[in-house]
Structure 1
Amino acid sequence: MENLKQYTHDKLIAAYKTVKENHIKVDRAALTFGVPKQTFRDRVLNKENVNARLGKDSLFAFDEEEPLVNHIESLAQVGYGLNRAQLNVLASELTVKFVRRNSDDKLSNYWYYNFLKRWDHRQ
């Protein structure tokens, strides 16, 4: 199987603006910015929102997740670090508070590792 090209959302937006503002052909802009042609064409023809992203939506919105990060940082400052299981329990309690899940549902390691990626800049 051929490796998929990696492109950033910023490149997609730059290519989109180039096509809309400078009237450059879609294929040329896709090649120039390294964006898959069909993906890009779908965005330009409004078949797909230009800001659409792959994958599931995050369980929490940014403004819901930030207080959790602040709490974790304040715990770390007083010498109490959380392990993965403790963080998952804490976040699970938040999901129940926000009525997103049942209390029996546990968060996955997938959520945990994506949480770490989302907040990597705060480490």
Structure 2
Amino acid sequence: MKNLKQFTYDMIMAAYKAVKENLIKVDKAAVTFGVPKQIFRDRVLNKVNVKAKWGKESLFALDEEELLVNHLESLAQVWYGLNRAQLNVITSELAVKLGRRNSDDKLSNYWYYNFLKR
């Protein structure tokens, strides 16, 4: 199986800026900045928004997650910790109240581990 190169949003933006300033052509920019040509070409030709994110959208907005993190930290300061299952249930209830989910089923461990990464 072919090894996929890792590239970042910053790499795409640097290449995009170089092309838009007419410094280099699209293919040359893709190679120079280590970005896959077709992914980069789609952004330059406005088929895909340059600022588009990859992957599935997060359940909560960044500011909502920040509020959640602050709340969890305040709970920890008063020695009230939550385990993974409790956090999944509470955040699932919050998502239902915000209209982001239809059911009261708890969130998966997949959501939990991605939340920890963010």
TM-score normalised according to structure 1 size: 0.90
Structure 2 unaligned residues grouped into runs of 5+:
none
Q: Quote the offset at 1:5 in angstroms.
A: 0.7
Q: Number of aligned pairs?
A: 118
Work out whether residues 31 and 37 of structure 2, in 8 Å CA contact, stay in contact via their aligned partners in 1: yes
SS of 1:22's equivalent? Answer: coil
Identity of counterpart residues, as a percentage? Answer: 79
Structure 1 position 25 matched with structure 2 position 25: yes
Q: Hey, what does 2:35 align to over in structure 1?
A: 35
Work out whether residues 16 and 44 of structure 2, in 8 Å CA contact, stay in contact via their aligned partners in 1: yes
Q: Hey, what does 1:101 align to over in structure 2?
A: 101
Q: Hey, what does 2:74 align to over in structure 1?
A: 74
SS of 1:72's equivalent? Answer: helix
Give, as a single letter, the amino acid of the residue that structure 1 aligns with 2:56.
K
Give, as a single letter, the amino acid of the residue that structure 1 aligns with 2:53.
R
Comparing 22-31 with 1-10, which one deviates more in the overlay?
22-31
TM-align CA RMSD? 1.1
SS of 1:92's equivalent? Answer: helix
Q: Hey, what does 1:121 align to over in structure 2?
A: none
Task: Quote the Cα distance in structure 2 between the aligned partners of 1:55 and 1:72.
Answer: 26
TM-score normalised according to structure 2 size: 0.93
Instruction: String of CA shifts for 1:53-81, please: whole Å, max 9, x gaps.
Output: 22111001111221111110011111222
